[in-house]
């Protein structure tokens, strides 16, 4: 195994092209578990920690560009939390303080788990993933970027470099059901924003992200609509029946919060 440690974005992209077999590692909160438990045997690792460009965020157009290496902890405070409250709430539910200090939004997308906590608020926000290679950059809506359970649309020579999203400007929230009161993987989760359009996306209840929308006038039936759009399964963390039920309850509560 090799560890490749680029010192700039351009070097990182060149290494990515030259070594498509190298597994990118940023916060390590997913990759290291695979290594420690002998489940992943990558030929090489592409350590992105030294690429400062990935750690930056800034206003961009009418929204923000958040570098892929921005951590959950960073999204929980300051301007990012003020502009993206649901994303901040979701970030607060991720793992532990130690994980939030290290885990990144880009890593969450790369892992593309149905339980990825940042994904529902990003889907509701209509966020786009910036994927960059030596060939150039392209933007993919989050809902399209996640192509299946732990699968994504990243090309072999691309890195996730940033997320682009606009503040919703309306009330929004995030809720997550777990079997204990901290440090859990979502049994199911939900992000909602309530403007003229009601927008919802759930976690751990479908193989790919699903955005459910309805006019504000349909608030009464929206919880049932959202639950109907879910395709949950039974697994070690919960049953499909419970998940569907919980998503309906969460949607109702989210709307009560947002429309209050």
Partner 1 sequence: MTVVLTPGKLGVGRVGDRALRSDGTPKVQGQFAFASDMIAPGMLWGHTVRSPHAHAEIVEIDISEAVAMPGVHAVLTHADVPGAKTYGLEFADQPVLAIDRVRYYGEAVALVAAEHPEQARRAAELVKVTYRELVPVTDMERALESAPLHAGKPTAGHGYREDDRPNVVRHVVIRHGDPDVEGDVTVTGTYELGIQDQAFLGPESGLAVPDGEGGIDIYAATQWLHVDRRQIAPCLNLPEQQVRLHLAGVGGAFGGREDLSMQIHAALLALHTNRPVKIVYNREESFFGHVHRHPARIWAEHRATREGRIVCVKMRILLDGGAYASSSTAVAANAASFAIGPYAVANALLEATAVYTNNPPCGAMRGFGAVQTCFAAEAQMDKLADLLGIDPIELRLLNAAAPGDVLPTGQRIEGSFPVAATIRAAAALEPPAPEPLPRDPLRLPGGAGNTTRGEGVKRGIGFAVGFKNIMFSEGFDDSTAARVQLFADGSAEVHCASAEVGQGVSDVILQVARTELGTDLVRLAPQTTATVGSGGSTSASRQTWMAASAVRDACRAAIERRDAGDAEVDVEIVYRHAETTPLDPETGQITGDRAHVAFSVCAMKVVAEVDVELGLTRIVWIGAAQDVGRAINPLAAEGQVQGGAAQGMGLAVMEEIQTRNGLITNASFTDYLIPTALDMPAMDVVLVEDPDPAGPFGAKGIGEPPTVTATAAVASALRAASGQPLTRVPVTPEALIGLSR
Partner 2 sequence: MRINVRVNGVPSEADCWEGESLLFALREKLGFPGSKNACEQGECGSCSVLLDGVLVCACLVLAAQADGHDVTTIEGLGTEEELHPVQAAFVETGAVQCGFCTPGLVVAAADLLERVSDPSDDEIREALSGNLCRCTGYVKIFEAVRLAASRGAGA
Nearer to partner 2, 18 or 43 (CB): 43
3 in helix, strand or coil?
Answer: strand
Query: φ, ψ for residue 16 (rounded to 5)?
Result: -60, -40
- Per-residue b or e along 60-78, where b marks 16 or more CB atoms closer than 10 Å to that residue's CB: eeebbbbbbbbbbbbbbee
Half-sphere exposure of 218 (CA within 13 A, CB side): 14
Q: For 64-106, what is the HEC assignment?
A: EEEECCCEHHHHCCHHHHHHCHHHHHHHHCCCCHHHHHHCEHH
The nearest distance, CB 85 to partner 2, in angstroms, is 18
**Which of partner 1, partner 2, none lies near 155, with the C-beta cut-off 5 to 8 A by kind?**
none
Nearer to partner 1, 136 or 179 (CB): 179
Q: Which residues bind partner 1 (CB under 8 A)?
A: 36-38, 89, 92-93, 173-185, 187, 189, 236-239, 241-242, 245-246, 249-250, 253, 256-257
Q: Which residues bind partner 2 (CB under 8 A)?
A: 1-3, 5, 25, 27-29, 31-33, 35-37, 45, 47, 49, 95-99, 101-102, 182-183
Nearer to partner 2, 169 or 181 (CB): 181
Which spans in the chain are helix H?
9-18, 31-36, 72-75, 78-83, 85-92, 97-102, 105-111, 119-124, 142-145, 222-229, 240-259
The nearest distance, CB 33 to partner 1, in angstroms, is 8
Specify the pairing of strand 63-67 against strand 159-165.
Answer: antiparallel
- Token pair for residue 57? 């965020």
**Which of partner 1, partner 2, none lies near 234, with the C-beta cut-off 5 to 8 A by kind?**
none
**Which of partner 1, partner 2, none lies near 241, with the C-beta cut-off 5 to 8 A by kind?**
partner 1
The nearest distance, CB 37 to partner 1, in angstroms, is 6
The nearest distance, CB 137 to partner 2, in angstroms, is 25
253 Cβ contact list (under 8 Å, min separation 6): 175
The nearest distance, CB 5 to partner 2, in angstroms, is 7
**Which of partner 2, partner 1, none lies near 147, with the C-beta cut-off 5 to 8 A by kind?**
none
Helix (H) or strand (E) segment spanning residue 128: strand 128-133
Nearer to partner 1, 102 or 176 (CB): 176
**Which of partner 2, partner 1, none lies near 49, with the C-beta cut-off 5 to 8 A by kind?**
partner 2
Nearer to partner 2, 3 or 259 (CB): 3
């Amino acid at each position: 195994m090799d560890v490749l440690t680029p010192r700039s974005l351009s070097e990182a992209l060149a290494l990515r092209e030259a070594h498509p077999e190298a597994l990118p590692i940023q916060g390590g909160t997913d990759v290291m578990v695979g290594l420690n438990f002998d489940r992943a045997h990558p030929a090489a690792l592409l350590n992105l920690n030294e690429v400062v460009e990935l750690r930056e965020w800034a206003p961009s157009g009418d929204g923000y560009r958040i570098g892929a290496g921005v951590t959950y902890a960073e999204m929980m405070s300051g301007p990012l939390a003020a502009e993206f409250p649901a994303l901040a709430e979701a970030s607060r539910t991720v793992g532990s303080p130690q994980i939030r200090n290290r885990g990144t939004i880009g890593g969450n997308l790369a892992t593309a788990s149905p339980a990825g906590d940042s994904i529902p608020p990003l889907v509701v926000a209509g966020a786009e993933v910036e994927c960059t290679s030596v060939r150039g950059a392209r933007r993919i809506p989050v809902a399209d970027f996640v192509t299946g359970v732990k699968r994504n649309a990243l090309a072999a020579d691309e890195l996730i470099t940033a997320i682009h999203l606009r503040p919703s400007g309306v009330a929004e929230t995030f809720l997550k059901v777990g079997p204990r009161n901290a440090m859990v993987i979502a049994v199911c989760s939900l992000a909602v924003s309530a403007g003229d359009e009601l927008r919802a996306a759930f976690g751990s209840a479908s193989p790919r992200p699903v955005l459910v929308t309805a006019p504000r006038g349909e608030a009464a039936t929206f919880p049932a609509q959202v639950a109907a759009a879910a395709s949950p399964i039974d697994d070690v963390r919960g049953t499909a029946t419970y998940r569907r039920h919980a998503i309906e309850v969460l949607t109702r509560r989210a709307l009560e919060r947002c429309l209050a």
